[in-house]
Chains A and B, each alone.
Chain A
Amino acid sequence: MNEPRVLQIPDPSLVVLIGASCSGKSSFARKHFKSTETLSSDAFRAMIGDDENNMDATRDAFDALHYVTAKRLASRRLTVIDATNLKSEDRKPLTQLAREYHLFPVAVILDMPEKVCQERNRNRTDRQLPRAVINQHIRRIDRRFAGRVKGDGFRYVYRLRGEEEANSVQINRQPLWTDRRGDVGPFDIIGDIHGCCSELEALLETLGYARNERGVYAHPEERRAIFLGDLADRGPRNLDVLRIAMDMHEEGTALCVPGNHDVKLLRKLQGRNVQIAHGLEKTLAEMEALPEAERTAFEEKTAAFIDGMVSHYLLDGGKLVAAHAGMPEHMQGRASSPARDFALYGETTGETDSYGLPERLDWAIDYKGRAAVVYGHTAVTRAEWVNGTINIDTGCVYGGALTALRYPEKTLVSVPAEKQYSVPTKPLEADEGGRPALLLNIADYQRKMLIHTRLMGNVIVNEENAAAALEVMTRFTAAPEWLVYLPPTMSPCEVSSRPDMLERPEEAFAYFEKEGVEQVVCEEKYMGSRAVAVICQNEEAAERRFGVESPAGGACYTRTGRPFFSDEAEEEAVIRRLRAAFDAADFWNAHETDWACIDAEIMPWSVKAQELIKGQYASAGAAGEASLSLAGEALRRAEARGIDIAYLRERVEQRAEGVGLYREAYRRYCWEVGSIDDLRIAPFHLLAAEGRAFLDKNHLWHLSALNRLAEADPGWLIAAAHKTVRLSDEAQRQEAIEWWERLTEEGGEGAVVKPLDFIAYNQKKRLIQPALKCRGSEYLRIIYGPEYLMPDRLKRLKQRGLSAKRMLALREFALGAEALERRARREPISRAHECVFAVLALESEPVDPRL
């Protein structure tokens, strides 16, 4: 017996079964594929027309079948089409669909003798076709049929002849060559080398590679190099570079993807007619110089090496893509000639620029994918992350540098060129002239948003909330480039068990103790307005990191993203003074960054809330005082007349006292601001810097980093007063409570109690509140009204539910953290932005604003 025939089927791909009615397509599909993978025209006819044989439904059935096929291919799922597919006009839309999704179409022809089909037809109980129909079908499958099928655009065509072959055949699913998601690295990805072998050797050695006993570069920690193509041409030692790459590839210490120069060399070696230019002449000259025998062997080896290269790789669970000229999301880890062309040449407009070079479209501007894309091809003066993509071709052959990106570390290692070996046709630009403006797609925000966060899984934002946020984002917020982060709302503690107070720290301690937190930090809550500030080291850093021209070199915005200062000059002055503090504290060196984002309270309250204070708080106070004093006076006269009205007089007097205290309360947070020197800024979180989100650092780290900053501008910057409390230590608890009492008696707003860790979980590994506020009794008059402490009112106010507020706080916290982490991972700006957008959208949820 012969070995059974094995069909190689790429996975994913579009498998199109072809055959006459009753040729056994459905049984074949059932035997070799999952039922969910198989889309049968009969099933779709039934779905639309209630009957598998309802021919009137055919047209709509195929529409639906194509639609479902497209959805499956878009999500990389192998899909089998079970229909006769005997006509070219039926097959062509399918091959087009496969191409559209950059997957291979595969044809499997079931070529059965007519009598087998006719007999099966006769034995069918559900339906029987006229003999003539089957005969017609069979006649279509003639000798040249496979050739015609191939002509419809199938990558592979398998023809199974007769029942025996159809029954014995085996299917071998092969992952696409580009799909190396199981390969997690670590890698050192190296940009265009172009024959700069000395620099390559130096770079490999800097990265820790050394020649092993076979003379091949290998890394002691089993790191592997990925060469991004364009190994040869233009440089001084083209063949040496090819040798290193081929040896490492053979040894398993390197992967290679092809560049356009490599492919051109291959074509030349295959004897095709190519233009000998752009440095190819140098490589060929080196080959010419080899002794005849060695030359032939080297040429054959090189040709086989390049021919075996795969257009690009999708690596590390889909988090990394390596490609010569880049790779947009919809082609990643797939296979098609457009994908291969993209990998080799990038995207061009089809026109040429003033230097006669093809005009490139910058695909990276629109990139939104999850994978970091590392590429080269176009030499740039420095490697910069743009939307989660990075071009590391730093033009070594033009006298720049040879650059590697270490992965997963995402750090850059460069070796400068020893000299300029070639003159570029046009001067190198810093990644196409800097980062283009951020253009977000509205469709991403006009729907129910589902955002996956590391801290709490999926967070959903409803469409109405998103629509509201879109309006705010478009009309009122600071430029989205600056909106690195928006702070979450914060829940208060449970109501106090004391009858005369609403909030106290005891309840916050109890919450964290219950959630298994050992240590908390109590920070003074300064009463001003919340602000997030992004400070860049200089204007150039602002341009580089945020892609905006900003003379101020930073931005300062409120908790809903609006510019904190309505006057630009004022904002600029604040940013400059903050920057001076960062400079003086040697912040940039200490944290190896050129920008930072801080979370702070800016005082006085009146600077931002002046209109609110005048129109609402002071007004209520003025009316209250006048109204209650007249009432008190009238009641006293009535009492003097002997009317029994003391209870009412006392009550009015109590209310008047409440109003007096209320006025005292808001007055403490108001003072005249003549210039920014009159402001006080109390930063409490150091959120992020280039490539990092400081969420893994505990609050004492944050406070101490910010304390150094405050020391650089004492008086203007305030280091947050705080107390650390080990919850198991009753004395420490008591001390913190007394501290809070003193603080609030002196007119302070209160304190925020946080678990020591920035991100904290309970015993069940569930995220817990990142902070709880405990507000002082007097301050709360501003929130609950002048008279809230009157016993009958307080009693009712204590019936407050916190669960909605706390759920919202967690969701917003998870989104804010996600925004910072995505930015730190250098994911596309739009992916970080959607998290910030979602925080803003959630802020439109109705929650009691007094909490």
Chain B
Amino acid sequence: MLLAIAADGAHAEDLSYLLHKHPGRTQEFSLKFGTAYVFYPTWSATRCEAALLLEIDAVELARRRRGASWTLFDYVNDRPYAASSFLSVALARVFGTAMSARCDARPDRVHAPMRLEARLSALPCRGGETVLRRLFEPLGYEVETERLPLDPQFAEWGNSKYVSALFKTTRPLHELLTHLYVLMPVLDDEKHYYVGEDEVDKLLKRGGDWLENHPERQLIAERYLRRHRPLVRAALARMREDASEAVETEEHGAAREGALERKVRLNEIRLKAAEEALKENGAATVLDLGCGDGKLLSRLRKEKQFVKIVGADISSVALGRAHRRLRLDRQLQSRERIQLIHSALTYEDRRLKGFDAAALIEVIEHIDPPRLKALEMALFQKAQPRRLVVTTPNREYNARFETLPPGKLRHTDHRFEWTRAEFQAWIDNAAKQYGYSVHTRPVGEPDAELGPPTQMAIFDRKGAPR
């Protein structure tokens, strides 16, 4: 990748002094991840242009990244070509003195504004050129951009995330370098190294006073610190001593379902309804099937009625989160009472057998329809809880979610969503086949025409002692 910085006007030649790089030579700098070269494509009395060429050693890079992840993405990617944190690191290394505004040969020129241009040919912009403008224009840059197509031979693939950009400005050189240093990785929204606490110091040191007053400081901090919430909070707090404004981090891959249902706080209502149904028949042992990160479990633990609480989930990541949420590593007596197990609902699992009550809250819709038969057998025939509480979305109600396009499901991982009639048919059949009685309850404010947002069924095993 190449960064070209040009200076125009009477003092153009100062560029070489300020950069501390001789215009008549090509200089080479060895970096951990490759080699940087500095040379001057143009050198005249009125225009001087310096170029920083970075050649990344892809083979070495891949070798070093082995431990972390083993996908081909590590070997064939845009990193050798795109402007990214690699370029920022090279910039700091090669033009470090210039960036920190030191120049013994021309001390008077260091803070003097110059007519400058910076050109980058493949600048990845997450969020597009708008974000680029929002970042640079408040700082007084004139920005020219051109979006690169993904592949001119496949016009239908559309544009890439890269722009070719030209920044024009009149200001001291060290400011331009600093802005690029901070904002290139922000635009890219990636970092090639681990972001730790010293990154906050780096941001504040380089950001100085301009960042504090930047209208997009929040976005900059978040992306620069890779959305590491405590770091973002620390950075923003240190930027403004009066940081009373709440820190809402940018929605990242927003959970559509959560956003949709927020209005009615449906999840809260659902958990409450489930909890009530589980408590009703005097259950002492309770099972949360597909417990996720343990929201229902943490409610259930507050109920003294339950002497044994087990959460089961197929996702070991979710179980890890539940473990933390419930602080199972700290609370000794909880460990006896609450257990988390890695299980799959389409498999027979003896550990799930014989509970007084079991919850299957917003889970079945994540199971492929051909596997439902196995789930039924595993639950009703093998696990045989005395009571089973099932909730699932009511598909008809989706029409009431204004932001949900017709025909779409509430969550990308939902394999199906049932209408009230479909749900009824399933529960009736299961109850009949496996010797359970069943009744339904609405969850959430029912719509007169379309029914409740969530449907709930309560199965009770026939002949089981109450």
Contact = CB atoms under 8 A, between A and B. Distances in A.
A783 B395 CA distance: 44
B26 A614 contact: no
Contacts of B49: 634
A301 interface: no
Contact of A440 (B80, B315, B348): B348
Contacts of A787: 58, 80
Contact of B148 (A442, A626, A847): A626
B72 A850 contact: yes
Interface string B374-396: 10111000100000000000000
Nearest to A846: B70
Contacts of B192: none
Contacts of A635: 39, 41, 53
Contacts of B164: 626, 630
A497 interface: no
Interface stretch (B116-124, B245-253, B320-328, B422-430): B116-124
Interface residues of A, number: 66
A667 B164 CA distance: 23
Contact of B160 (A467, A619, A630): A619
Given A442-B344, A846-B70, A624 B150 contact: no
B73 A616 contact: yes
B51 A634 contact: yes
B40 to A, nearest CB: 6
Interface of B: 1-2, 4, 24-26, 37, 39-43, 49, 51, 53, 55, 58-59, 70-73, 75-78, 80-82, 119, 121-122, 124, 148-151, 153-154, 156-157, 160-162, 164, 314-316, 342-350, 366, 368, 370-371, 373-374, 376-378, 382
Contact of A474 (B81, B150, B314, B373): B314
B151 A622 contact: yes
A569 interface: no
A440 B373 CA distance: 12
Interface string A622-659: 11101111110011011001011100100110000001
A475 B41 contact: no
A152 B161 CA distance: 82
B310 to A, nearest CB: 14
A667 B41 contact: no
**In the complex, which of the residues B73, B81, B162 has the most CB atoms of chain A within 10 Å of its own CB atom?**
B81
A439 B377 contact: yes
B169 to A, nearest CB: 20
Contacts of B345: 474
Contacts of B343: 442
A652 B26 CA distance: 15
A436 B434 CA distance: 14
Contact of B368 (A479, A663, A672): A479
Contacts of A440: 346-348, 374
Contact of A441 (B77, B81, B122, B348): B348
B75 A620 contact: no
A795 to B, nearest CB: 10
A623 B78 contact: yes
Chain A binding surface, main DSSP class: helix
B363 to A, nearest CB: 12
Nearest to B343: A442
B2 to A, nearest CB: 4
A200 to B, nearest CB: 39
B371 to A, nearest CB: 6
Interface in A89-108: none
B162 A626 contact: yes
Nearest to B161: A619
Contact of A443 (B77, B156, B350, B374): B350
A643 B73 contact: no
A796 interface: yes
B160 A622 contact: yes
Interface in A461-502: 467, 470-471, 473-475, 479
Given A619-B161, A638-B41, A630 B81 contact: no
A850 to B, nearest CB: 6
A446 interface: yes
A618 interface: yes
A652 B55 CA distance: 9
Given A441-B347, A442-B344, A479-B368, A620 B81 contact: yes
A848 B377 contact: no
B75 A785 contact: yes
Given A620-B77, A620-B81, A623-B81, A663 B349 contact: no
